[in-house]
Amino acid sequence: MASIRPQGNRYRAFVKVDGRRATKVFDTKRAALAWSQEQEAQLSGAQLPDKTFGDACQRYSEEVTEAKRGGRWDRIRIARFIREDPITKRRLQALAPADIAEWRDARLKQVKPGSVAREMNLIAAILEIARKEWGWLKENPMRDVRQPPKPKGRARRIADEEVEALAKAFGVWDSLEIETQRNRIGLAFLFALETAMRSGEICALRWADVHLAERYVTVRTSKNGDSRDVPLTSRAVEILKALPLGFQPVFGLEASKRDGLFRKVRDSVKSIKDLHFHDSRAEAIWRLSKKLDVLELARVIGHRNLSSLLIYYRASAAELAKRLG
């Protein structure tokens, strides 16, 4: 039900429908009454609010992303949606699967399928919140839109010669130097090869989470939101011992700066092509799979889906025959 109450020289409108409330102040009683009637219709489901997809994107960015891991990247993607994509001008009530499919096909001409899939997942989340919590939609049109084909997972191995060449370029091959940020990025790369930790996890590592006597470190929050303990090889312990306790975080690095400087040094090594820092994780997993069973490996690297790890346990028919005797 709705009520209008004087508030000084203005009027405050109150609306309550099935436990859901709304209130707003107006200059005139007529405006307050008109708003109250509209709100009653919206809250009761008789009428949906006249909102655009851009309105939903903006509200999601302001209210939802702060509590999400990866919220910064969601805000960046949403800002691009609003700035560049005409679809954000579409009224939500008129937004159809065909509109999203048209956007998808146009976007595939600009970026890779993996990027489009991530953006589509974000759009689906925005529309679902608008439907379930804000009452801006009756149906989520994303449900009837196909995702682009998933690209094959990257499986870039790193040869020992490449590790040596990179370590020399970073100045950490003959000794574990720590004098410059360049040195510490090199040590972080070598540490990743020993532990299969992600770049962000390494950059966020703090001394309170390092247990050298027991030879493990604790990752407080991994990509899936869980914490985990990561065992350390002798080489990983050596790297940590080379770093002074004064650094906080341990490697004294910021993830954003790490990426740019790593690429700069990598590009100076002419023998290395198409190598990214995160390839160190896949290489480390390959190496660990030769020492740990699949359950142990999943616990160390923080994977919930065991089937995604089976690729690291594939052996050729010739290798299997040797085991059979």
- pLDDT averaged over 10-residue windows placed end to end, the chain, 325 residues: 85 81 86 78 69 94 85 91 94 90 95 92 95 88 89 80 95 89 94 94 92 94 81 95 85 84 92 92 91 89 82 76 77
**Measured CA angle at 100 (ends 98, 101), to 5 deg:** 60
Q: How far apart are CA 147 and CA 120, in angstroms?
A: 7
Q: Are 199 and 188 in contact (CB under 8 A)?
A: yes
Count of residues for the chain? 325
What is the chain's alpha carbon radius of gyration, rounded to the nearest angstrom?
27
Q: Among all residues, which ones are annotated catalytic?
A: 198, 223, 278, 281, 303, 312
Q: Tell me which DSSP letter residue 90 carries.
A: S
- Give the domains, in start order, of the chain with CATH numbers: 2-43 (no CATH), 53-144 (1.10.150), 160-322 (1.10.443.10)
Q: Which of 270, 312, 271, 273 lies closest to 291, judged by CA?
A: 312
> CA nearest 262: which of 167, 144, 123?
167
Q: Is the Cβ–Cβ distance between 151 and 113 less than 8 Å?
A: yes
Tell me: the pLDDT tens digits for 108-126? Answer: 999 999 899 999 999 999 9
pLDDT attached to residue 308: 76
- Distance of alpha carbon 269 from alpha carbon 250, whole angstroms: 27
What pLDDT shows up at residue 161?
Answer: 95
- Please check whether residue 123 is in contact with residue 100, taking contact to mean a CB–CB distance below 8 angstroms: yes
Beta-carbon contacts of residue 84 (< 8 Å; ≥ 6 apart): none
pTM of the model: 0.67
CB 217 within 8 A of CB 239: no
Phi first, then psi, for residue 7 (nearest 5°) are -140, 90
Task: Tell me the per-residue pLDDT of 227-270, one tens digit each, with 9 for 90 and over.
Answer: 899 999 999 999 999 998 877 899 988 877 788 899 999 999 99
- The whole-angstrom distance between residue 242's C-alpha and the CA centroid of its chain comes to 31
The SS3 assignment for 67 reads helix
pLDDT of residue 1: 64
Task: Match 């896949």 to its residue by tokens.
Answer: 282
Do residues 148 and 117 make contact, with C-beta atoms less than 8 angstroms apart?
Answer: yes
Local structure of 20: helix, strand or coil:
strand
pLDDT digits (tens, 9 = 90+) for 84-96: 999 999 999 888 9
Residue with tokens 């370590």: 167
Q: Please, which residues have CB within 8 angstroms of residue 308's CB and are 6 or more apart in sequence?
A: none
Give the pair of three-digit tokens for residue 316: 């050729």
For position 43, what pLDDT does the model report? 66
Nearest alpha-carbon partner for 137 in 48, 20, 38: 48
